[in-house]
Chains A and B, each alone.
Chain A
């Protein structure tokens, strides 16, 4: 083609758009070298980058209620009966921060003079957001490269699961930090094996970093200060149970999620001080050596960020090591290249005309490049499922280019511009219908919060939209310009 014809072709808006989008996409993908390694702006999700995922189930229930009694009375009776914290979402709904089956709740509601109207395991949107904030704080303290916390909120506004993805963190550590509620409690020994509750982690004001207690001893601990009220509570309990007068027989227990992290008699020194005034500075010793240090670090994180409002249970989890994620990435690229070559061979066998086959493959590949550009712009993560989506786009893309080619080249001759335009419009009509069906078919998956196949659906929908709006019509123009020679 001459330069003039190229210019004329570029004046078509779809062709121009194709070129502009291609250039923009390359800019967004930004392939560049970093520390001597080739890298891009593409974001990789799990499987293609190393790290851990945890999906946790809230051990709580959102329930609808009806009662003829004053709501406050009903709720306070219910709270006593269930022995669980109750958060009132609105006039008809409450969040019970402990897990109960529907049957259990139905009878408890009836006993308190009400009726259970709806039942859904999970927490309210507000609580889910609160969990997100707390978890993010804990993860920041862990110093991960990249952490994502997503409460999965259903259409009813109830969140049953929260999904956490952590780059470069092992499964065991992730479960320690994220898979636990982080509820800290101090209990004091009263008599024999009996202990009595003193205070929870919310009575803690500031938290220190893990230090050696005493310094240079290789025994680790975390110091923390109580709030004024907490300190009074602590002193009152110590005096009430006689710990201040007989410290050796009154163990001080510090408990994290039901596990005792520290248990030792109240020190005589502390007991003497407590007799005089409330003490705000306390230390939780966690043990010696590396194990003690790790435990101290975990305790520090939980003390700082505080407990989650509800208990969580790990519903699913996974870990991908760096070696394997790199391998997956390589294989995904190999699969992609081999697939493209296979498509090229089949299309060539059918048309035996490089001037048709090359633009076809070219447009098909540019669709993928633009799709990757959009993906890196909207920060859509690529995981193995999204790669499957890319391949789906490659497949439907080539299908539709074949439809356009055959429609336009009907009877093997290149038609006059007028007829050509008509045929192109008709071809686009066909691909529009199949595009809309694909989009509609993928929509439920893209909107469903729970599914890990979301990336797949989003990539497929994006690809189809880019395809029918820009690249495939542009292909129609390009093939016309080339063939009318």
Chain B
């Protein structure tokens, strides 16, 4: 499986350019799309899920053109949109059944089996007869992924699936995604939550202002941040100044003041220790320094 995006731009009617000459090749496996709000993630997802056409550039899925061969490509796609929660008045199983029918499973028995399998998988079997509207936020999202995965699609596009979920549901959701990962399938997960990527994705791409800024393994991004993550031992009185000077990742009260984690080129004035960066640190560093042109772009 391969998706090739070549020089995609999307300019909205109001002149807003959501994507600018965006080129990316996506291979089987799970790709995490990371970027701040407004980076163009959702636009990209909508283009990939045939809901939108790019203003220019092309998308090929295994050699198929996303515009000309829309019908064939749609057969390959499972999609979970960003705000997923408003259902028509259908029960959980009915919603899945409807989705299954739309993917082309016309045999009733086969469809029921498939629906039950998906319900089991996402842990909603118990709630199959409940109206989809009445499910909790996490359950709705699980139902969402179930409908995206029904019919065994080759490409699964998941847009910001964990936003607004409590940590437990979030982990549960990530696990479902990880389970679905396989060599014959492309899963594209867009998120602004770094944890989603670090726990599930083998590859990631970083978007900002409609442009691709990084593509690679999460570890590669982490290694870029090496030597740029520090923990400052700060007094209460310094706290505000530190926050002004450095992008702060976290600040935790300690016995004698505050432990403040920051990303920076180097630390002056304050006592600090260097930390081993994780993906979150790396993302912060990347966004704050590389994208803001405090350093020359990397990758």
Q: Does B associate with A?
A: no
Residues of chain B whose beta carbon lies under 8 Å from any beta carbon of chain A: none
